[in-house]
Amino acid sequence: MDNSGSSRYRELELTARYKFRENDEFTASYVRSSSRGDLNDFNSYFSNFQNPIIQANERSRLPWDVPNRFLFRGEFHVPYRITLVPVLDIRTGFPYSIIDEDRNFVGPRNLAGRFPNFASLDLQILRTVSLPGKIQATIRVELGLKVFNLTNHFNPRDFQNNLASDDFGGFYNSVGREFGTRITFVKK
């Protein structure tokens, strides 16, 4: 083992923004990227794994390699001091490797396939409210509801990559639709 490892990340981003009416806007971006490097990094051995498996080093796609990503975001002010902020995120799935029953890699690492494409439509609904008395001249309050993965799209975070498993090839642990709230105090 030595400290001669390296990695490389390259990206090309194209972004367009269209502003209309007084405060409404729409932004669209596309990122084409590549991340390659040594797969035996420091975190592989000194992270949360009690007994890490140390394999011969390889250079390949890094675990977070996402060659294509589209991001669409809007901000639309509608009546009753309500603002709608939708965000659509679509990207290529992360790469994965296949292992055997002894946890040896089968074939080149991170080249066995990719997770399904990730797609999430998120939405924030914000309403500006007035505070009583003199404080409203200095502070504005926004109350909001946030919905993540509005369409409840299946976006798995885990893959059964062990050839010896009865569940080999299965994707699991998707985050479903989630709700949150938001309170923001904005100084005028």
**Percentage of the chain with pLDDT > 90?**
64
Residue 34: closest CA among 6, 62, 57, 13: 62
Three-state secondary structure string covering the chain: CCCCCCEEEEEEEEEEEEEECCCEEEEEEEEEEEEEEECCCHHHHCCCCCCCCCCCCCEEECCCCCCEEEEEEEEEEECCCEEEEEEEEEECCCEECEECCCCCEECCCCCCEECCCEEEEEEEEEEEECCCHHHHHCEEEEEEEEEECCCCCCCCCEECCECCCCCCCCEECCCCCEEEEEEEEEEC
If the chain, 188 residues long, is cut into consecutive pieces of 10 residues, what is the mean pLDDT of each piece? 76 96 94 89 58 72 94 96 96 94 89 96 93 79 95 95 94 95 88
Question: Residue 133: what pLDDT?
Answer: 78
Q: How confident is the model over 47-97, as pLDDT tens digits?
A: 555 556 667 777 889 988 999 999 999 999 999 999 999 999 999 999 999
Question: How far apart, in whole angstroms, are the C-alpha atoms of residue 56 and residue 105?
Answer: 10
